[in-house]
Amino acid sequence: MLVYLRLFKESFSFATNALRNNKLRTFLSLLGITIGIFSIIAVLAAVDSLDKSIKDKLSGLDKNTMYLTKFSFGPTEVPRWQRDNFPQTDYDDFEFIQRNVPNIDAIAYVIFGGNENIKFESNTVSGVKITPVSNGIYDIENLKLSVGRFYNESESISGSNVMVVGSSTAENLFGNVNPVGKTVRAYGRKLTVIGVLKKMGNGLGDSPDEKAFVPANFVRRFQNGGASGLPGAVIIKPEKSADIGAFEALLKQKYRVYRGLKAGEPDNFFINKLSGLTDLVDGIISTLNGVGWLISGFSLLVGGFGIANIMFVSVRERTNLIGIQKSLGAKNKFILFQFLFEAVILSVLGGIIGIILVWLVSLGANAALDFEFVLSFFNIFLGFGLSTFIGLISGIIPAISASKLDPVEAIRTGM
């Protein structure tokens, strides 16, 4: 056992000395493997961080929540011209479903509005995403308030001039002033701010922090939300005890009757479920991972060939030394480990530098962006594992060729 430990120690010592004596060559080899490891770990960490961010934001929502609208949230076989002729989902549809479909935990009607300017005294925040929606959205999206309240059912039905703003919108518009009770102008009309949402961070789509909410019926007073007007949707959250398959079938049946569709006629609406959206996200994340592996794989391949090439050059340069070592009694294993250690050390050092660079980039991204860039232990372990594996693969053939050199021929070649 001690003999093998001494063998490893001496081989390691020879390898490190060789690397120190050839600094430029060592640097160029490190550069290739560092770029490869940095590329793959950075891409995988970015994709993992995006996946985690989206899943965290969706975790507060019921995956069985359904969006009844003329639009499909995913791929569909219905041709574009046919979808364009689908009627809009209006407030009347919302009222019908609310009255006639059982086992609904929460329901809301939303108008897909655009960006508007909100003005408070001399301050103006431009391009705010104002969402006209009924009060049921508060329970569907599990919104939380830092101050004030959300508008109630009575205010929602009557279309009161009230507004709830996101944390970033409130900060940009009011600064350190308490927004509750203040009068603002939007859509060319006065509204009273009655609540401010807690900070939620970025997620899938628009963050509530950057948005504002007003009753849908307030907007319906002056903007057409009918068949030729602003598009809308009915958002439905079934009760937890409901059979989702049966609930969706009943919803579709009743809504088809309401729309006057006969048997055999295709639906002129879509029922989009959040569970389908999460499946779509999983598919996109999987594709991004695959593309990341493909791109980074080329970098790793170049780095591996670079190390193998350097090792073959190193064997040729040290042929005379190998012959002397073998003539003095050095075993094949000693020569083999000497060059193999050199390749592995190069790869592992390159991997460590690549991981450190990813870590520094993640710190910079977290500081500069409102996004949590996560460098997981798995990705760090993957970086070490890949770098070690590349070192072994790149160095094994040069190391074997060095260990099999005939001592007499090696000494003669080096003369």
pLDDT in tens, 246-261: 998 999 999 999 998 8
CA angle 109, 110, 112 (to 5 degrees): 155
Q: Is the pLDDT of residue 352 over 90?
A: no
Q: Return the percentage of the chain with pLDDT > 90, whole number.
A: 24
pLDDT at 407: 66
Please tell me the least confidently modeled range out of 85-99, 106-120, 356-370.
356-370
Question: Could you tell me the pLDDT band of residue 371, with boundaries at 50, 70 and 90?
Answer: low
pLDDT at 119: 92
Residues present in the chain in total: 415
Question: Could you tell me the pLDDT band of residue 281, with boundaries at 50, 70 and 90?
Answer: low
pLDDT at 132: 93
Please state the rounded mean pLDDT for residues 111-118.
85
Question: Could you tell me the pLDDT band of residue 360, with boundaries at 50, 70 and 90?
Answer: confident
Q: Is the pLDDT of residue 298 over 60?
A: yes
pLDDT at 73: 78
| 96-114 per-position pLDDT tens digit | 999 999 999 999 999 987 7
Do residues 204 and 54 make contact, with C-beta atoms less than 8 angstroms apart?
yes
Question: How high does pLDDT run on average in the chain?
Answer: 78
Question: Could you tell me the pLDDT band of residue 148, with boundaries at 50, 70 and 90?
Answer: very high
pLDDT at 17: 66
What is the enclosing helix (H) or strand (E) of 234? strand 232-238
Q: Is the pLDDT of residue 339 over 80?
A: no
Q: How far apart are CA 381 and CA 164, in angstroms?
A: 46
pLDDT at 244: 86
Question: Quick one: which of 349, 86, 327, 166 has its CA closest to 335?
Answer: 327
pLDDT at 201: 65
Please state the rounded mean pLDDT for residues 137-155.
91
| 10-26 per-position pLDDT tens digit | 555 655 665 666 666 66
Question: Could you tell me the pLDDT band of residue 27, with boundaries at 50, 70 and 90?
Answer: confident
Q: Is the pLDDT of residue 67 over 70?
A: yes
CA distances from 27 to 308, 314, 352 (A): 14, 14, 14
- Which phi and psi (to 5°) does residue 128 adopt? -80, 135
Please tell me the least confidently modeled range out of 5-9, 65-69, 360-364.
5-9
Q: Is the pLDDT of residue 211 over 70?
A: yes
Q: Is the pLDDT of residue 147 over 90?
A: yes
pLDDT at 224: 67
Question: Could you tell me the pLDDT band of residue 215, with boundaries at 50, 70 and 90?
Answer: very high
Q: How far apart are CA 235 and CA 66, in angstroms?
A: 6
Q: Residue 270's beta-bridge partner residues? A: 69
Please state the rounded mean pLDDT for residues 331-352.
72
Q: If 0-12 CB within 10 Å is exposed, 13-18 middle and 19+ buried, where does residue 263 land?
A: exposed
Question: Could you tell me the pLDDT band of residue 409, with boundaries at 50, 70 and 90?
Answer: low
**How many CB atoms are located within 10 Å of the residue 233 CB?**
24
pLDDT at 122: 84
